[in-house]
Amino acid sequence: MLPRIKSVAWNLAAVAICIVLILPFLWIVLESFHGNIFGSTSDIFRPTLSNYRYIFRHTQVFRQFGNSFIACFSAMIISVPVTAMAAYGYSRIRFRGKRVLFLGLLITQVLPATALVIPLYHLWALGHLFNNLVALGVAYAALNMALGTLLVKNFFDNLPVSLDEAAMLEGCSRWQIFWYVLRPLVTPAIAATAVFVFVNAWQDYLLASSLITNTSDFTVNVGLYAYEGAYTTNWGAILATAVLVSLPSVVMFAAAQRYFVRVVSGGIKG
């Protein structure tokens, strides 16, 4: 009996810790369903959708969601094949300069977007790329190149080379080995790459705010900040938008979080 009580206590403690930890987020979720935010706290038990109804009628949130999706999906569609192929190259082929190229890739993982934003601003001016959501997606893909390559390479490294050899003896070309033999085995890594690229792109404010200047091309993040600047006290609409903005990345990250450590570490063991 005693161990059982102990186990219940640990589980309850875990739940309590979790609630305290996510309280700031929980709080804005609750308040976003709250009709009059600075009214009485007991109102919070009578949730209403009025804030959500308001933002769909009076703000550009729909359009901005569309813009964000365009940029994030472009990033995803570009990085998935490119990182999978690069990962195969780094994992399976020996070539001159591999070490240097790989080190260069690792360095891009620590290159801060804050130091890149001005260089990108120059490039965008040079190429007339401002307000181009697909170009923004390419920038996201570049910033996430190391992440995806490291993750997929880690999966390739864990597949025995004898697979490749067997396929080659059967007469497969390198492409066929990649596509028919190895790719199905690294699909989880590729899916996780897609998710993390999307989530990282979805979280970005910095690049979107400096490379997008038209209000009609704003992504949700930039749109929300602009809205906060214009309507400081309209907390109902602000919080409802914030909750909507958080949904895609929270859901996708939660689904893929078990791959997160491998993404970051690139397979370094403790």
Partner 1 sequence: MNDETAQDGPPASRTDAGGPSHAPRALAASMRTPATARRAVRAGSRDSQRSLAAQRAQGPSDRGRGGLWSFRRRLDRDSFPAVAVWVGPSYLILVLIMAFPILWNVIESFFSSSYGNTSFVGVANFRQIFGSGQFYSSFLLTLYWTAGVFIGQFILGLLLALFFNRRLWVSRFIRPLIVIPWALPGIVSSTAWVFLYSQGGLIDQILSPFFKTGPSWLADPALVMPAVIVAGIWKGAPFYFLMLLAGLQSIPPELQEAAKIDGANRWKILVRVELPYIRNIIALTSVLGLIWTANYFDGIYLMTAGGPVNDTTTLPIWIYNTAFSDFNLSEASALSVILLVLVLLAALPFMLRRGENAA
Under rule CB under 8 A, which residues in 97-116 are in contact with partner 1? Answer: 98-99, 101-116
Of 19, 45, 26, which is closest to residue 242 (Cα–Cα)? Answer: 26
Distance of alpha carbon 30 from alpha carbon 25, whole angstroms: 9
- Interactions with partner 1, residue window 160-189 (CB under 8 A): 160-162, 164-165, 168-169, 174
Applying CB under 8 A, among 54, 69, 73, 121 the residue interacting with partner 1 is 121
Distance of alpha carbon 39 from alpha carbon 269, whole angstroms: 52
Closer residue to partner 1 (CB): 189 or 199:
199
Binding map of partner 1 across residues 62-91, x = CB under 8 A, - = no contact:
----------------x--xxx-xx-xxx-
Of 25, 68, 29, which is closest to residue 51 (Cα–Cα)? Answer: 29
Residue 5: both structure tokens together: 């009580």
Q: Report if residue 228 touches partner 1, rule: CB under 8 A.
A: yes
Would you say 68 and 223 are in contact if contact means Cβ atoms under 8 Å apart? no
- Stretches 12-20, 50-58, 59-67, 185-193: which one binds partner 1 (CB under 8 A)? 12-20
Q: Report if residue 46 touches partner 1, rule: CB under 8 A.
A: no
Residue 202: both structure tokens together: 């979805």
Using the structure block, give the residue that is written with the tokens 């009628």: 57
Q: Report if residue 253 touches partner 1, rule: CB under 8 A.
A: yes
| Total of residues contacting partner 1 (CB under 8 A) | 110
Applying CB under 8 A, among 6, 27, 58, 185 the residue interacting with partner 1 is 27
Angle at 68 between CA 147 and CA 66, to 5 degrees: 145
- Stretches 47-55, 57-65, 119-127, 184-192: which one binds partner 1 (CB under 8 A)? 119-127
